[in-house]
Amino acid sequence: MKKLLLKTTTCLIIYVFLSVSAIAQNKFRVSGYIKDAKTGEDLLGATVQIAGTTKGVVSNVDGYYTFELAEGPIKLVFSYVGYITQTREITVTQNLTLSVNLKPREKQLDEIVIKADGLKEKLNTTQMGVEKLTAQELKNIPVIFGELDIIKALQLKPGVSSGGEASSGLFVRGGGPDQNLVLLDDAQIYNASHLFGFFSVFNPDAVKAVDLYKGDFPAQFGGRLSSVLDVKMRDGNRKKFSGKGGIGLISSRLTLETPLQKDKSSLLISGRRTYFDIFTRQINNANEGNPDFNRIPDYFFYDLNAKVNYELGKKDRLFLSGYLGRDIFAFKDDSFNFNFRWGNTAAVLRWNHIFNSSLFVNTSVSYSAYQYDVTNNFDIFNFSLGANIKDYSAKVDFDYLPNNKHSIKFGAHYTYHDFTVGRLQAGSSDGTIDFGNETRLDGNEAAIFITDDYTINERWRINAGLRLSGFASNGRTYGGIEPRFSVRYKVNPKVSLKASAARMYQYVHLVANSGASLPTDIWYPSTQIVNPQRSDQVALGGSILLFGGKFLLSNELYYKDMENQLDLKDGAQIFANPQLEQEFVFGQGWSYGNEIYLEKKEGRTTGWIGYTLSWTFRKFGPSNGNLAINNGEPFFPRYDRRHDISAVITHRLSPRLTITAAWVYNTGNAISLPPGRFIIQDVTGNQPSVVPRFQKRNDLRMPSYHRLDLGIVWKFFPRWGESDLTFSIYNVYNRLNAYFIFFEELKDPNTDLTLGFQARQVSLFPIIPSITYNFKF
Amino acid sequence: MKKLNRSYIYFAGVIIVSLLTLAACNNLQKDITIDLPPYEGEIVVECYLQHGEPYRLILTESVDYFGAVDLPPIPQAKVIITHNGASEELTFQPGFDSTTQKFFNYVGTTIVDSADKGEYVLRIEDEASSRLITGVTTFLPAPQLDTIEANFRDTDTSAFLLTKFQDVDPNDPNFYRIIINRDSITGATATEFSFEGRFKTGNQIAIGTGFDFKDEDTVFVSVYHIDRPYYDFLETVEDARQGNGNPFAQPTVVQSTVEGGLGVFTALSFVRRMYIVRKEE
Q: At what angle do helices B228-243 and B2-22 cross, to 10 degrees?
A: 10
Residue A540: inside a domain: yes
Q: Which has the minimum average pLDDT: A556-560, B1-5, B73-77, B166-170? A: B1-5
Q: What is the pLDDT of residues B124-141, one digit of tens each?
A: 999 888 999 999 999 999
Question: Do A562 and A541 have their domain in common?
Answer: yes
Distance of CA A247 to the CA centre of its chain: 24
Question: Do A592 and A523 have their domain in common?
Answer: yes
Number of domains comprising chain A: 3
Q: SS3 for A107?
A: helix
For residue B9, give the nearest of B253, B256, B241 by alpha carbon. Answer: B241
> How many angstroms separate the CA of residue B236 from the nearest CA in chain A?
5
Is B118 buried (19+), middle (13-18) or exposed (0-12) by CB count in 10 A? exposed
The average pLDDT across A267-275 equals: 94
The average pLDDT across A230-252 equals: 92
A696 contact B CB<8A: yes
Q: Hey, are the CB atoms on B155 and A577 less than 8 Å from each other?
A: no
Residue A118: inside a domain: no
- Chain A interface mutation, best of B192, B254, B265, highest count of A Cβ atoms under 10 Å: B254
Confidence of residue B104 (pLDDT cuts 50, 70, 90): very high
**Are A703 and A668 a contacting pair, CB within 8 Å?**
yes
For residue A522, give the nearest of A621, A440, A614 by alpha carbon. Answer: A440
Residue A119: inside a domain: no
pTM of the shown model? 0.87
Confidence of residue A197 (pLDDT cuts 50, 70, 90): confident
Question: Which residue does chain A place closest to B24, by CA atoms?
Answer: A766
Q: SS3 for B250?
A: coil
A695 contact B CB<8A: yes
Domain boundary, last residue among A112, A142, A157? A112
Measured on CA atoms in the order A515, A517, A522, A525, is the torsion positive or negative? positive
Question: Which contiguous run of DSSP H or E holds residue B162?
Answer: strand B158-166
Q: Which has the minimum average pLDDT: A141-150, B164-173, B255-264? A: A141-150
**Are A479 and A500 a contacting pair, CB within 8 Å?**
no
Q: What is the pLDDT of residues B253-279, one digit of tens each?
A: 999 999 999 999 999 999 999 999 988
Question: Which residue does chain A place closest to B249, by CA atoms?
Answer: A514
Confidence of residue A109 (pLDDT cuts 50, 70, 90): very low
Domain boundary, last residue among A112, A143, A166? A112
Q: How many contacts, defined by CB atoms under 8 Å, are there between A and B?
A: 249
d(CA B11, CA A374) in angstroms, rounded, equals 13
DSSP letter assigned to residue B72:
P
Q: Hey, are the CB atoms on B28 and A766 less than 8 Å from each other?
A: yes
Q: Hey, are the CB atoms on A687 and B12 less than 8 Å from each other?
A: no
Residue A195: inside a domain: yes
Q: Within a 13 Å sphere around the CA of B247, how many CA atoms are in the beta-carbon half?
A: 25
Give exposure, A95-123, as e/b (b: 16+ Cβ within 10 Å). Answer: beebebbbeeeeebeeeeebbbbbbbebb
The string of DSSP codes covering A505-550 is: EE-EEEE--SSS--TT-EEEE--SSSPPEEEEEEEEEEEEEETTTT
Question: Do A216 and A238 have their domain in common?
Answer: no
B-chain residues near A515 (CB < 8 A) = 247-251
- Chain A interface mutation, best of B6, B29, B65, highest count of A Cβ atoms under 10 Å: B65
Residue B45: pLDDT above 50? yes
> How many angstroms separate the CA of residue B49 from the nearest CA in chain A?
10
Is A362 buried (19+), middle (13-18) or exposed (0-12) by CB count in 10 A? buried
Most confidently predicted of A38-52, A316-330, A515-529, B63-77: A316-330
CB atoms within 10 A of CB B213: 24
Domain boundary, last residue among A179, A202, A231? A231
Q: How high is the pLDDT of residue B13?
A: 52
Residue A195: pLDDT above 80? yes
d(CA A17, CA B65) in angstroms, rounded, equals 70
Confidence of residue B12 (pLDDT cuts 50, 70, 90): low
Residue A484: inside a domain: yes
Superfamily of B144-253+269-276 according to CATH: Immunoglobulins (2.60.40.10)
A191 contact B CB<8A: no
Q: Which of B2, B62, B199 sits opposite A676 (nearest CB)?
A: B62
Q: Hey, are the CB atoms on A756 and B66 less than 8 Å from each other?
A: yes
> How many angstroms separate the CA of residue B84 from the nearest CA in chain A?
25
d(CA A516, CA B54) in angstroms, rounded, equals 46
Q: What domain range is A314 assigned to?
A: 232-776
Angle, alpha carbons A700-A705-A708 (nearest 5°): 180
d(CA A192, CA A562) in angstroms, rounded, equals 23
d(CA A384, CA A397) in angstroms, rounded, equals 41
B-chain residues near A695 (CB < 8 A) = 37, 39, 253
The answer for residues whose C-beta is within 8 angstroms of residue B172's C-beta and 6 or more apart is none
CB atoms within 10 A of CB A85: 14
d(CA A441, CA A445) in angstroms, rounded, equals 13
Residue A16: pLDDT above 60? no
Residue A116: pLDDT above 50? no
- Chain A interface mutation, best of B148, B201, B207, B234, highest count of A Cβ atoms under 10 Å: B201
Residue B154: pLDDT above 90? no
The average pLDDT across A695-711 equals: 93
Strand runs (DSSP E) across A265-380, as ranges?
A: 265-274, 298-311, 316-332, 336-356, 359-378
Q: Which of A674, A692, A755 sits opposite B69 (nearest CB)?
A: A755
A-chain residues near B44 (CB < 8 A) = 678-679
> How many angstroms separate the CA of residue B82 from the nearest CA in chain A?
21
Question: Do A254 and A346 have their domain in common?
Answer: yes
Q: What is the pLDDT of residues A677-701, one digit of tens each?
A: 999 999 988 788 999 999 999 999 9
Q: How high is the pLDDT of residue A144?
A: 80
Q: Which of A164, A379, A672 sits opposite B251 (nearest CB)?
A: A672
Q: What is the CATH number of the domain that holds A684?
A: 2.40.170.20
Q: How high is the pLDDT of residue B25?
A: 46
A681 contact B CB<8A: yes
Q: How high is the pLDDT of residue A431?
A: 81
d(CA B229, CA B137) in angstroms, rounded, equals 10
Confidence of residue B15 (pLDDT cuts 50, 70, 90): low
Question: Do A562 and A450 have their domain in common?
Answer: yes
Q: What is the CATH number of the domain that holds A169?
A: 2.170.130.10
A-chain residues near B250 (CB < 8 A) = 513-515, 568, 570
Please give the backbone phi and psi of residue A492, each rounded to the nearest 5 degrees, phi first. Answer: -155, 180
Residue B22: pLDDT above 80? no
Q: Which of A374, A378, A515 sits opposite B248 (nearest CB)?
A: A515
Q: Would you tell me which CATH number, out of the four given (3.30.1330, 2.60.40, 1.20.58, 1.10.3470), belongs to the domain B43-137? A: 2.60.40
Q: What is the pLDDT of residues A551-572, one digit of tens each?
A: 999 999 999 999 999 999 887 8
Question: Do A723 and A760 have their domain in common?
Answer: yes
Question: Do A222 and A343 have their domain in common?
Answer: no
Q: Which of B42, B69, B244 sits opposite A692 (nearest CB)?
A: B244
Q: Within a 13 Å sphere around the CA of A107, how many CA atoms are in the beta-carbon half?
A: 14
Distances (CA, A) of B225 to B66, B121, B174, B175: 36, 19, 7, 6
Type of residue found at A408: I
> How many angstroms separate the CA of residue A519 from the nearest CA in chain B?
9
Question: Do A200 and A246 have their domain in common?
Answer: no
Q: Which has the minimum average pLDDT: A556-560, A566-570, A573-577, B3-7? A: B3-7
Residue B1: pLDDT above 50? no
Residue A548: pLDDT above 80? yes
Confidence of residue A334 (pLDDT cuts 50, 70, 90): low
Distances (CA, A) of B214 to A425, A624, B151, B163, B222: 28, 47, 10, 16, 19
Residue A310: pLDDT above 50? yes
Question: Do A189 and A54 have their domain in common?
Answer: no
**Are A225 and A535 a contacting pair, CB within 8 Å?**
yes
Question: Do A630 and A654 have their domain in common?
Answer: yes
A621 contact B CB<8A: no
Q: How many residues does chain B have?
A: 281
d(CA B267, CA A196) in angstroms, rounded, equals 41
Confidence of residue A420 (pLDDT cuts 50, 70, 90): very high
Q: How high is the pLDDT of residue B23?
A: 47
Residue B11: pLDDT above 90? no
Q: Average pLDDT over chain A, rounded to whole?
A: 88
Q: How high is the pLDDT of residue A517?
A: 67
Q: Which of A299, A573, A686 sits opposite B187 (nearest CB)?
A: A686
Residue A587: pLDDT above 60? yes
Confidence of residue A115 (pLDDT cuts 50, 70, 90): very low
Q: Hey, are the CB atoms on A335 and B154 less than 8 Å from each other?
A: yes
Q: How high is the pLDDT of residue A9?
A: 47
Q: Where are the domains of chain B?
A: 43-137, 144-253+269-276
Question: Which residue does chain B place closest to A422, by CA atoms?
Answer: B1
Residue A86: inside a domain: yes
d(CA B134, CA B136) in angstroms, rounded, equals 7
> How many angstroms separate the CA of residue A532 from the nearest CA in chain B?
24
d(CA A617, CA A589) in angstroms, rounded, equals 5
> How many angstroms separate the CA of residue A391 from the nearest CA in chain B?
26
d(CA A586, CA A126) in angstroms, rounded, equals 35
Checking A720-723 for CB contacts under 8 A at 24+ apart, the result is A720/A777, A721/A242, A721/A775, A721/A776, A721/A777, A722/A107, A722/A775, A722/A776, A722/A777, A723/A773, A723/A774, A723/A775, A723/A776
Question: Which residue does chain B place closest to A735, by CA atoms?
Answer: B28
Residue B5: pLDDT above 80? no
CA trace torsion A171, A177, A181, A183 (10° rounding) = 90
The answer for residues whose C-beta is within 8 angstroms of residue A15's C-beta and 6 or more apart is A450
The average pLDDT across B19-38 equals: 74
Question: Do A106 and A132 have their domain in common?
Answer: no
Percent of chain A topping pLDDT 90 = 57
Going by their DSSP bridges, the two strands A605-619 and A187-188 should be labelled as unpaired
